Amino acid sequence: MKQPIRAIIVGAGHRSLIYASLADRHPERLQIVGVAEPNEVRRKMVQEKYGLCEEMCFHDAEKLAEKGKLADAVINGTMDDQHVETTVVLLKAGYDVLLEKPFAVNEEEMETLVKTARECGRKVMICHVLRYAPFYKTIKEELLRGTIGEIINIQMTEHVSYHHMAVSYVRGKWASEKLCHAPMLLAKSCHDLDLMMWFMDRTSPTDVASFGSDFQFVKEKKPENAGTRCLTDCPLEKNCIYSAEKNYLTPPYRWEFYVWESLEGINADLKKKRESLKTDNPYGKCVWECERDGNVDHQSVMVRFANGSTGTFNMIGGASRAERNIHIIGTQGEIKGTFDDSRFVIRRSDPETPDGYTETIVDLKISGDKAGMKGEHGGGDRLLAEDFVNYVAGEKGSISSTSLEQSVLGHLAVFRAEKARKENRVVSME
């Protein structure tokens, strides 16, 4: 029997722990043998969960790297602006790395990481988990079969729910580039541009244009008489969809992991949680009183490819329902579906039918080996972690493989789209 891959968690946040949970289900494939995390509460939590000795618990990536190579790999879930600096020292120490997206916050960082990985001869996989979700993986398989012919145009949308928008991109860690060094398009939607580049990998992108702004959360849009904190001085709180009371203190207790991070965790008593939202907890602030630093709440991206095909992506924050939609039109048919429904339709051009086409519905909630693949990112989290273990073990990756070099174009498209938006011009992808 092969030995399990031994991994160390660096940055014990929500995402790292999800990928590490493969060790809970399949300890014969993955073992967590260490942790590097500056937050003592989180570090102790991981230490207790995996029975780690003190010698395998570190304050940060640098302290870990100083000890040399103590395991096969690292699961790096640090904050966006720390990804490259932490990964570089770990690559030099000899580790292979599973790295959360976005793997860099600008082109210079991206080049540094690619160069270091090559020089060290190490493996880096990026957590573009949507490639592994059965919905997108099955669409990719249809494209590889040539089911709809050559792609003429691909249309993608991401609707970010109002409560996710508020907790992450207005009140939270990704509210502004000043805080996380990543614009919303990079922090939220690098998944989507990565998918577009993956689906269009028989050609290459040549030009990008983009438009977007902060439409809803600018100070001028603040309702008259609204306060500064939901639970202290706002007479409009009871009727506000962004109410901290309604979103964070009453069922279904949305986004608990983010909101109660500064307390003893989600199990803190209600009185303590309410007092936190009234005082220093950023999630208790009025959404129109948060520092946005010019970040957007909606953005459109247009891409031209070398073979003449085109792609569009629209990200809209503040929607009632979170969902991702896709529509790919080819020379012989089309694929159209909604990721959150795990369902898409394949239409094939057929002049002999009354409507001019035939239609096949692919429902991944009920069909074959795709059934039961529920969970975060449509089941992609689990499949990505499994593929990473195979990758480190030297086995062949799946068609969804998100190695560093295979992930560069999606990030580059985001960087160039932001340049296009800010400079109000078409930007070359060369």
**pLDDT tens by residue, 251-286:** 998 888 889 875 556 677 889 899 999 999 999 999
SS3 state of residue 302: strand
Residue 394: what pLDDT?
92
Instruction: Look at residues 123, 76, 120, 65 and name the one whose alpha carbon lies nearest to residue 101.
Output: 76
Instruction: Look at residues 19, 22, 52, 18 and name the one whose alpha carbon lies nearest to residue 36.
Output: 52
Residue 373: what pLDDT?
43
Residue 138: what pLDDT?
96
DSSP per-residue string spanning 193-252 = HHHHHHHTTTS-EEEEEEEEE--SSSGGGSPTT--SBTTTS-TTGGG-TT-HIIIIISTT
First to last CA, the chain: 47
CA distance readout (Å), 161 to 133, 167, 196, 266: 20, 10, 22, 22
Structure tokens at 264: 């003893």
Residue 216: what pLDDT?
95
Is the link from the previous residue into 252 a cis peptide, with omega within 30 of 0?
yes
Taking only the tens of pLDDT, the chain with its 430 residues reads 589 999 999 999 889 999 999 999 999 999 999 999 999 989 999 999 999 999 999 999 999 999 999 999 999 999 999 999 999 999 999 999 999 999 999 999 999 999 999 999 999 999 999 999 999 999 999 999 999 999 999 999 999 999 999 999 999 989 988 888 889 999 999 999 999 999 999 999 999 999 999 999 999 999 999 999 999 999 999 999 999 999 999 999 888 888 987 555 667 788 989 999 999 999 999 999 999 888 999 999 999 999 999 999 999 999 999 999 999 999 999 999 999 999 999 999 999 999 999 999 999 985 444 433 444 666 789 899 999 999 999 998 899 999 999 999 999 999 999 999 999 999 999 8
**pLDDT tens by residue, 6-54:** 999 999 988 999 999 999 999 999 999 999 999 998 999 999 999 999 9
Q: Can you tell me the distance from the alpha carbon of 346 to that of 337, in angstroms, rounded to the nearest whole number?
A: 9
Residue 156: what pLDDT?
98
Alpha carbon 54 to its chain centroid, in Å, reads: 32
Residue 370: what pLDDT?
41
308: left (phi over 0), alpha (psi -120 to 50) or beta: left
Helix axes 184-199, 134-145, angle to 10 degrees: 30
Instruction: Look at residues 281, 231, 179, 219 and name the one whose alpha carbon lies nearest to residue 242.
Output: 231
Residue 316: what pLDDT?
97
SS3 state of residue 391: helix
pTM of the full structure: 0.91
**Residues facing residue 116 across a β-bridge:** none
Residue 14: what pLDDT?
85
Pairing mode of beta strands 323-330, 151-161: antiparallel
